[in-house]
Structure 1
Amino acid sequence: MVVRLGYKDKLVYVENSRVYLFKGRLYSAPLEEALRAAYSEDALVPPEIREIAPDLAEVLGTVPRTSEERQIIEGIPREQAYA
């Protein structure tokens, strides 16, 4: 899965469970830690990534990753979800 977020002053790129943020300089962190930063203070990520963590969590919460999740989100019949 690849996710890209564009801001006025920075770019965010997520690939292979890693978050990359370019804001005049390149920052990176494991996706798991970046998502943890959205919900708690104890995540070990740069402050620049902590700043976008809530947006990242919101976007990834809307991306179905499995056919079962797709079924729930889109309301499609189970047989079609596994086709």
Structure 2
Amino acid sequence: MVVRLGYQDAIVIIDGEKVYAFDGRLLEASLEEVLKYVEYGEGVIPEPLKKFAKDIRDALYSIQAPINKEYKTKVEVQTY
């Protein structure tokens, strides 16, 4: 599954177990670490990616996507 979150000055892509963000530079983190950061404040992710972490969690929960599964479908979520 691929989830895309669009912002005025950035784009975030959740692709399987990886999260990519581009806000002038490319950032990458594991989805597991991003979710650990949101839930417990202890995931190790790049500092600029932290501002998107809650939106990433909320997007996955809003489409009720089970975590740690292999996906065949493509889902796009756009925010403005």
TM-score, normalised with respect to structure 1: 0.73
- Computing the radius of gyration over CA atoms, which structure comes out larger, 1 or 2? 1
* 1:60 aligned partner: 60
Counterparts of 1:29 and 1:3 in 2: how far apart (Å)? 15
CA shift at 1:31, angstroms?
Answer: 0.5
The structure where helix makes up a greater share of residues is 1
Query: Closer, same or farther in 2 for the Cα pair 1:41/1:64, shift >3 Å?
Result: closer
1:44 deviation in Å? Answer: 0.3
Q: In structure 1, what residue type is equivalent to 2:17?
A: S
Letter in 2 for 1:44: V
Structure 2 residue aligned with 1:18: 18
CA root-mean-square deviation: 1.3
Which amino acid is 1:30 matched to? S
TM-score relative to the length of structure 2: 0.75
Partner of 1:44: 44
Query: How much has 1:64 moved relative to structure 2?
Result: 3.2
User: How many percent of aligned residue pairs carry the same amino acid?
Assistant: 36
Q: List runs of 5+ in structure 1 lacking aligned partners.
A: 67-83
The match for 2:5 is 5
Structure 1 stretches (4+) deviating beyond 2 angstroms? none
- Point out which structure has higher relative CO (alpha carbons under 8 A, 6+ apart): 2
For structure 2, the residue ranges without an aligned partner over 5 or more in a row are: 67-80
